[in-house]
Structure 1
Amino acid sequence: MKRINAILILVAVVLLSSCEKKAEKKPFEEGEFKNWAKTPPMGWNSWDCYGPTVREDEMKANADYMAENLKEYGWEYVVVDIRWFVENTKSGGYNQKDPIYVMDEYGRYLPAVNRFPSAENGKGFKPLADYIHSKGLKFGIHIMRGIPTMAVDKKLPIKGTDGITADQIYSKENQCKWLRDNYTVDASKPGAQEYYNSIFELYADWGVDFIKIDDLSAPIYHEDEVNLIRHAIDHCGRPIVLSTSPGETPLSAANHVSNHANMWRMVNDVWDSWWHISHLSEVSKDWYGYIKPGTWPDCDMIPLGRLSVRGEVGKDRMTNLTKDEQYTLMTLFTIFRSPLFFGGDLPSNDAFTLSLSTNKEVLKMHSESSDVRELFREEGKVALTSKNVSDKLTYLALFNMADESPLDLEVKLSDLGFVGKVKIVNMWTGEDLGVFENDFTQNLAPHASGLYKIEASK
């Protein structure tokens, strides 16, 4: 009997030691987060088609489509966007009159069970994350910067502190103007870091791989809260890709954001209007130097396919962009190496929309190229280029940004570093355009573009 008791004690000690080791979360090293997105992240986000109203069945339907049709091309993130913690949310705006929030005893939002049934009994997003992971995909969520106003009003305790409550770490200064769910977290207050630590501990336990955090970059850049978030992610024990939102992120914050986030927005929300694409083209030229492995300037979501099923802008529709404009959007996003997050309802895709997301040559350029730069921008004519060093390829994107007239866009091949003859292929169609020397000219309709692969001709 003594021997049996001794064995049981030994087993208990081993199990306790194992649990303690499991509980220990070794912090990631400074800058290690840049290894979590060495190529621009690619996925789907619920915002463009479902606004703040997306349900679990819709998340699963889009994940199923991605697993079957897009995963082999590099698409992997499935992201629940805004206000998943509100029971009585609505489309076409936000219910800010009488929102019913769901949160735990520590002031941390939980999924609304009437929209996400698998979250019942405090399970949170873990069952949904497990489902998406079972498909070989990754799971993401959206949150707002700050601490819930309800947690402040109720003076809820901050997990990981000795009696500090939510009302002791908040500030009404710089509260988000367009959504009043949260207050600013005052980074100077004891308990501020612990609050962010507590929510990322929860997200890590759920299995979150990606987080989009809103109201961080505009109208002001919230450097103090970005620091709190970076520290919390690095100490949560799970790699979580960080996307800051929305834009326009100020250029004055470029060095800081590129050392704290994996991706950051350059503009506000992009929708299916030509002026959004034109504006992106102008803004992006200031960010070429920050396109680096692990940290990516972000063009925002891709407003293609079926939009606004219950969305925020316009009625249920297929994208308003013409086919030329859709090619132009995808050409700009891919040669710029922006993260790619499809916004339309994936199961509603037609063959053309799917083809824009599954062109292997274009996606190879997107993931493997480097040295993105502008050749010229003049009178509606824009030319961008990049290289694939390992394959000895040069990429060229030509854009007619004018509204009315077709334009001839001419590129001197010497400006691309070529001497002698080159072979040029249309990357969207796969058509071999032939051998060229000295220069290359294409006539493009208004709002149209061309994307080409160039290599020295033998």
Structure 2
Amino acid sequence: MYKSESKFRLAALASLCLAASLLSVNSFADKFEHLAMTPPMGWNSWNHFGCNVDEKMIKATADMMVKSGMKDAGYEYVNIDDCWHGERDANGRIQPDPKHFPSGMKALADYVHKKGLKLGIYSDAGWTTCAGKPGSRGYEFIDAKTYAEWGIDYVKYDWCATDGLKAEGAYMTMSKAVKEAGRPMILSICEWGDNKPWNWAAPLGQLWRTTGDIYACFDCEYDHGTWSSWGVLQILDMQDGLRKFAGPGHWNDPDMMEVGNGMTLAEDRAHFSMWAMLAAPLIAGNDLRNMSKETTALLTNKAVIAVDQDALGIQGFKYEAEDGVEVWFKPLVNDEWAMAVLNRNNHDTKFEFRWRHKAVKDELTKRSIDFNADEYSWQDLWDKDNSGSTKDFLKIKMERHSVFMVRLTPKAKDAK
């Protein structure tokens, strides 16, 4: 009897300790909850410029984000990635590189804010950044306070030079630092999915990387020796099983986009469309100052952006795949759906979809469509002149590495 009672008390004590621990963690990791209720939209310097960043280029990018119509389409963050850093002063405060950012970050943030945009910045959980600049290890609270004083709105936090650190703890520290700094700043967790951040990152930041770095290639791997960069299709495949972790205020991040960085127009459209189906952050990574009319039109396609920014915040899912062609669905508000057909093949193909023979069920949301019972109208999101109804068979010719994307509206509602 005594032993049983003793075991019970020990078990109860353990439960209380666990509960106290969880309460402590939740209190410590108290992020700004109202940020990124839809996936963040903006631009980042790394994919095109790497370390070649300076205030003149950032200002010109902000100017072009407005002039090109990207701001009107929903883009708002102008994010400076690695290599903006100078040295720390005698008080440990990080300084921008005086050669490339002579006016300072506060003046640059003011310039961006006057455009109606927001400024993002980059740091790393280790002693150094991935490019060898000063990291935030041991300086998390002073760095977050400095960013807040500068007027920063978005912090991308990388994972290089982090030997001996545990990811969850390191990001918990920066999350707390950002909150204590007092300025609402998005925390973008960038540890490449190595530590399964989808299991622990939602209380800490607004988005977390699910993979290693993207590469401006539709279907390939770039082997760096000890790590690889990945093409669009490879990163798309890595999202399998993760949709249940995403939602308003906490998003899976399959990395910044490579639209306008050398792929074909069809590949860029497919890349952009599938990121929208994933409810992914739409962070452009091209040179906005010199982009083509085609790239501008692609990045500002409000119909596709609306799929990404849908208020439900539900990530899409693969419905079927056959002969190199995939069909994806994404539940939207007002009982609407988005549908994307992706041709992964290296050749053109013909695709047919017999709507009335299909039934779609989303196990996550319990939303479903029985096309035999319910008729939907569809609108092509890339060709405004192309529309139809699910009462007819869908027959299309698809270019290699292309996408066909539509929005489905219940016919009864469409007729009102």
* Deviations, residues 414-446 of structure 1 (Å, cap 9, x unaligned): 325042322111011123422222764544232
CA–CA separation in structure 1 for the residues paired with 2:191 and 2:61: 23
Q: Contact (CA 8 Å) 2:338, 2:407: kept in 1 or not?
A: yes
Partner of 1:403: 346
CA–CA separation in structure 1 for the residues paired with 2:403 and 2:161: 31
Q: Contact (CA 8 Å) 2:30, 2:176: kept in 1 or not?
A: no
Partner of 1:237: 182
* Deviations, residues 20-70 of structure 1 (Å, cap 9, x unaligned): xxxxxxxx9965523111011111111122211211110000001112321
Structure 2: give runs of 5+ residues left out of the alignment.
Answer: 1-26, 220-230, 361-367
Partner of 1:144: 124
CA–CA separation in structure 2 for the residues paired with 1:222 and 1:234: 18
CA drift at 1:282: 0.5
Q: Contact (CA 8 Å) 2:46, 2:81: kept in 1 or not?
A: yes
Partner of 1:437: 391
Partner of 2:110: 130
3-state DSSP of counterpart to 2:340? strand
Q: Contact (CA 8 Å) 1:216, 1:245: kept in 2 or not?
A: no
3-state DSSP of counterpart to 1:117? coil
- For the pair 1:417 / 2:369, whether they are aligned, the reply is yes
Instruction: Please tell me the residue identity of whatever aligns with 2:88.
Output: M
Partner of 1:358: 300
Partner of 2:171: 226
CA–CA separation in structure 2 for the residues paired with 1:102 and 1:403: 48
CA drift at 1:403: 2.0
- Which of 402, 405, 416 aligns to 1:451? It is 405
CA–CA separation in structure 1 for the residues paired with 2:168 and 2:285: 28
CA–CA separation in structure 2 for the residues paired with 1:273 and 1:221: 32
- Which of 203, 206, 216 aligns to 1:262? It is 206
Instruction: Please tell me the residue identity of whatever aligns with 1:328.
Output: A
Q: 1:445 to 1:250 in 2, by over 3 A?
A: farther
CA–CA separation in structure 1 for the residues paired with 2:133 and 2:54: 20
Q: Contact (CA 8 Å) 1:381, 1:399: kept in 2 or not?
A: yes
CA–CA separation in structure 1 for the residues paired with 2:32 and 2:46: 25
Instruction: Please tell me the residue identity of whatever aligns with 2:97.
Output: A
- Which of 273, 294, 297 aligns to 1:331? It is 273
Partner of 1:204: 148
CA–CA separation in structure 1 for the residues paired with 2:61 and 2:326: 35
Instruction: Please tell me the residue identity of whatever aligns with 2:243.
Output: Y
Give matches, 1:5-154, under 5 Å: 31-68=30-67, 69-85=69-85, 101-119=86-104, 125-147=105-127
* Deviations, residues 88-127 of structure 1 (Å, cap 9, x unaligned): xxxxxxxxxxxxx4221133321111111102xxxxx101
**Which has the larger Rg?**
1
CA–CA separation in structure 2 for the residues paired with 1:431 and 1:250: 46
Q: Contact (CA 8 Å) 1:246, 1:269: kept in 2 or not?
A: no
CA–CA separation in structure 1 for the residues paired with 2:343 and 2:140: 46
CA drift at 1:265: 1.3
Structure 1: give runs of 5+ residues left out of the alignment.
Answer: 1-27, 86-100, 120-124, 149-175, 186-191, 306-318
3-state DSSP of counterpart to 1:294? coil
Q: 1:441 to 1:217 in 2, by over 3 A?
A: farther
- Provide TM-score, normalisation by structure 2: 0.80
Q: Contact (CA 8 Å) 1:217, 1:247: kept in 2 or not?
A: no
* Deviations, residues 121-159 of structure 1 (Å, cap 9, x unaligned): xxxx101001101111001101122346xxxxxxxxxxx
Q: Contact (CA 8 Å) 1:273, 1:321: kept in 2 or not?
A: yes
- Which of 268, 286, 291 aligns to 2:246? It is 291
Which deviates more from structure 2 when the two are superposed, residues 430-439 or residues 446-455?
A: 430-439
CA–CA separation in structure 1 for the residues paired with 2:102 and 2:161: 33
Q: CA RMSD in A?
A: 2.5
Seq. identity, % = 26
Q: Contact (CA 8 Å) 1:266, 1:284: kept in 2 or not?
A: yes
Which deviates more from structure 2 when the two are superposed, residues 212-221 or residues 241-250?
A: 212-221
Q: 1:217 to 1:382 in 2, by over 3 A?
A: farther
- Provide TM-score, normalisation by structure 1: 0.73
CA–CA separation in structure 1 for the residues paired with 2:207 and 2:354: 31
CA–CA separation in structure 1 for the residues paired with 2:84 and 2:295: 28
